[in-house]
Amino acid sequence: MDVLLNTFVVLFIVIDPIGLAPMFVALTQGMSAERRRKMAMTGTSLATAILLAFLFIGDDLLSILGIGIPAFRIAGGALLFLLAIDMVFARHSGLRSTTTREQEEAEHKQDVSVFPLAFPLIAGPGALTTVLLMTSSRQEPIVFAGILAVLLFVLGLTLLSFLFATRIIQLLGETGSNVISRVLGLILAALAVQYMLDGLKASLFS
């Protein structure tokens, strides 16, 4: 149960369905409601496919690359810690949003569901790293199934966030969204440090 709760907390913070709502509205500005719904569903579906691929082949991928679990935990924890810093200071870097050039490129596209919606906004470096971290140690089938269910649940919340993005922005406003992001960023920072400590402990005492 603790593993599943930890998985939910980390995935919810990293994917950040609430924080993605304003970005989705900006990317789909001027589009009809029907087209927005189509973009939301397509983008979420593609991101789900990417994350599921990493979920099922994560262990094999690390083995092929010759990366040990402790090393990946340390590196993954460091990446998530940088992501947490962005959230605490309400900054938007390439870790959890598009860069300026990527944003300019997206504005000239008719279809934003693949880029930048599916990647890097939903299935970005933080989310992919988290999925690999969750499956980097061999889990029992029932635990693995639970992690899969949690991932799909968070992605479902992301889709709902896109579908009701306008209402969410009206309800929270930019200040409200930043406050929530800062609190979640602090929690993510603590979890990231724990990942790094676990990796160091495993490498020193293995």
Q: Tokens for 115?
A: 């880029």
Domain extent, residue 133, equals 2-205
Residue type for position 95: L
- Smallest Cα–Cα separation from 22: which of 130, 180, 183, 156? 180
Query: What pTM was computed for the model?
Result: 0.83
Task: List Cα–Cα distances, 118 to 6, 50, 79, in angstroms.
Answer: 24, 9, 20
- The structural domain count of the chain equals 1
Kindly report the backbone phi and psi dihedral angles of residue 172, in degrees, each rounded to the nearest multiple of 5, phi listed first.
-90, -40
Question: How would you write the pLDDT of the chain (206 residues) with one tens digit per residue?
Answer: 788 888 899 999 999 999 899 889 888 888 899 999 999 999 999 999 999 999 998 878 888 888 888 888 899 889 989 888 988 887 766 555 566 666 666 555 568 899 889 988 899 888 998 898 887 666 788 889 999 999 999 999 999 999 999 999 889 887 887 888 888 889 989 989 998 999 999 888 76
The answer to whether the beta carbons of residues 74 and 200 sit under 8 Å apart is yes
For the chain, strand residue ranges (E) read: none
